[in-house]
Structure 1
């Protein structure tokens, strides 16, 4: 007894050290713990964070969690301490049955970035189950002729515990005839046998009551009992004998039902009924065997009754009993071992270890998307699984360990092309024939702000009537963004710029949400004809992206200005204009010329003259287009010496604007026409006038020659420059060089009876060349003269006056420096040249084509029509 106790102490000490080293050892980078079963919930298994080299903050930041491959969550992680604790009741017998080794594999998943660790928890057995007999009451019938030493096999007790906690010994109550001995069978197991020590005498004692007790090796010792009732029989003294003590057979798991398995044979030396043998499964045969196999009691043939499944049971060990029909019955036992062969009948399975997370579209190649595991319930080659992705996929599988894989990106992603991928993974085993399965993993692509807003068009043209209502909408621009969410939300703004030295924000404002542009006040075409707005569309991404578009706003003229009379000059001041005319004037005599201008443009600036009232309507007439006041007939002695004319000046706008001027004409005797006086004086011959005439002729010839030479030189230069610039009014460099602008200056002189227009070109700081057109209302001729350089005036101040004063209505220019508009500048030069030319030959000048919206196009063909030729020209 003392030796046995010492032996046990040594075993426990060795087992303790073994578990100690297993607790702290790692194999192939895997952490292993060892705990006893039935630990209380919340018991600490080990410091997981410390053993994995993690900080406590990593548990929260990287979302550490534990996944069990068995499906049951027996463990959890204490986030505050980083310890692996027991989460549920652990019953080693329910998990591993009679297996000596019980290990639970766990997977520790870390996210952000994804990482996987494998740990193992060994569940150690404790003595929490007592031995039990399948049959609590066992009946044996033994012939009285049984020889001393005959052994009768008894039922073995079963204990769910393993190792030292399993059944270790049996004890039989004291009696005179029987003793208990152990018999070692296969797999190192021992079964109790009842041994007859003395011959039985049925007449003395027909029934023996024994108590069989099974003891385990735990501490404290636990036990189970079975009552044995032995009935002593007479006569039949031979047992059936099997031809083999153990039968073995192998079956594929896919064989059909009712298939013949094996035939068991046994013989009995007795004769008659005592030799007739019937076969059956042992009394301890579980339902898992009897539901799959059946035995013919007469022939001993065994057939397949149910379905075989290698994954459920790899082998069956069946006890066969042979009994004769003697009195008493004699029986013997043998064992049948049926091994099940694996067949590739299980489809491989793909299990997601972690759910796929959204991936940024700018994620680099190799970014981990999800972790997964490949499983197959078959064995050997039938359980080897390979995973495959479709060709052309933007993802690939990176193997890890134990059939674990990481799904990673393999190329550039673009959310605007594919916002979500449905990745189909095919799992195929190595069986014959191979089996496969598919699993779809959805992966969403999160947006990155990589697309700037794009306007519907790069530039917009807006035509706005002047004198509009302040706050009215001018235009709505729109932009779109291919991104998503905040990255696609667009806000609109106007970039700061100058319009006539004033910030553009004082003219317009924009709705930042919908891109609608509103006016801050009404516009006056005579002050501002065109301006530009730079609109910016910016998204809400980080960093934000933007794009710009240009909005050209063209102000359209309205007839909001009445004609203004600039000659006679006294009419401007509101007083009468007094003119003198000789009574000797003939029909067609030019009395005066009324000149008016209109600040509008186009048709709104076309001016017509009409005689509204007159002292004598039959004496005077007013030219509709030129405003010239002439006599309709010769003046008679009966005409009043004081004539009063009311002349109405109207424009061609809608509605019509008009003004009136009153001209007072005094008829005087002895007043001669200047031209007749000149002719009379020229007719008087004298030496002095002859010399003056000679000098005048020589001077006129010299000036004519000089003028011809000058025009010839200018013509040659124009022909050379026209090849590149298309006009002799400005050089190519003037059009192209925006950094050194040329300024176009116009002067309108309205002082005195002589009217002239100056067109100036050149730098503002340099001496400018000017072409001056001189018109005299009192003269019957309209000539233009080349005059020396003169000082410049502000183009802004004079353009509106000039625009209205000229008969042509095509003066559509910006009231800004023309340096930034080379096309308008060139067009202006062309119109000035044409105006000066046709003014010489026409008493009226106007545009037949429809007015162009600004800015004027050089492709427009301008046509002039001479309504009335100058009779004396």
Structure 2
């Protein structure tokens, strides 16, 4: 403030000097701008005539922020016709007239009565006028002039933001641009150096620097490591007056964060991991975890695990838990403590994303040895096969051996085993098993045509640890023997026309056999030897498991015989073959000329034969004589009723 007062005083002195110079010039006959044109004397007493002209004023200046005891003299208005007798009155109007700027109406001196702030208002436009004091008649036309507020360095630089935040990749080259900070100064940039700013760094060396003219912050050290230090606090100063002594300044804080690049490979914290797993573990079960540490973050720190070598590659697998960045070792196949008690794996951890700029630093991977010991478990018995299939012939005698199952205790103790049949799978109790050796036998004869397959389950239990048991399915196939003769496939009933022709086929028959196909077809059809020369019908084997029945003669009569029974022998293809005799019923029927059936009833044929009434009475008389007198009385009784 002391410096400002000195500056104000100096400017006032300059103003007074100017005013003094103006008066001196007037005394020396140097004319100044006036309100009226007037006569002047030239050389040798010659009178020069100057045309009338308007107000012509130089720009007035008043220094801002003046805090002296007296009002500041801004300037003086004066008319050449002013003889000093007080008849001329000076009037001031316009912006701030009477409030900020006042005029002595006699002398024309203008003063500023208030402290002015250029940053609030840089200039004022005023109007000057000279009038007759008595009549208020204008002596000259009014004229405008400007009072400009002269700037002083009273405003420090201010940054756009109080705090800045910026990021720059770690390992950036020296001179990498980080951020540009900008300050502004409210002082007049066209006058002096009050608004000429220079930037400098107060805090943050030697890591960062700032360009003095632009405010651009740049890296100043090579290979800055985020993993060593991630965040830096930098203070930047902006100073006016071109940075010279006496200038005002302002500061801002810049928080600079180093962003991560993949400049670190994953590293296992130890060279060997020890794990153990029970032989009772099931595939997919977790065995243990390994973790390679990578100080990088985000995708740069992602690690994938794999098994690259070892005698356990077929038994174990490893997956990556991307939430915890751990390698999860899992069981891939069943283990057997009695077969192999330990395994070794070589596990590799590698970055998922590689930055090509850092490949020259070496491989972004690491390896570790994982040793896994297998723990013994009390295991249940194990059958030598996952399932058993046996065969037994049907009709085999009770006690026939079907087959043998075998289980063992996989533990080192090798406990004795006892066997039993799950009776829920053998409700009819067809089988029995030897508890000591696992032999399965029949209890009763089996019939394939009743049950072709028997599906039972067998338990194996350790003798001394009966809670340890195993179960195995056993399928028993009943093998067919040829114990069923073929029979007609249906209850056949045929008819033959009275007018049938010789060798005419009137029915085709087939057969069924309950035995397996190996003991069934092909079927052989024939007539019994005793009727092979039957005069009425003959049989033809079609050799396709069917046979055709044909008439052997012509002229059948329902009056003589309306029903024939034809025995047919059917043999199967089994060893030894089985055969049966089946009877085909054949009715004699009346047919039309086209062979279509009309009637197979013999009585209807008699009634339709055209007998006379006399013939019928004769027949009835014979019946009456044969039946006796009682029947006759009964007949006469019913006749009377009619």
**Normalising by structure 1, what TM-score?**
0.32
TM-score where L is the length of structure 2: 0.42
Q: Which has more radius of gyration?
A: 2
Higher percent of residues as helix: 1
* Higher RCO by CA contacts (8 Å cutoff, separation 6 or greater): 2
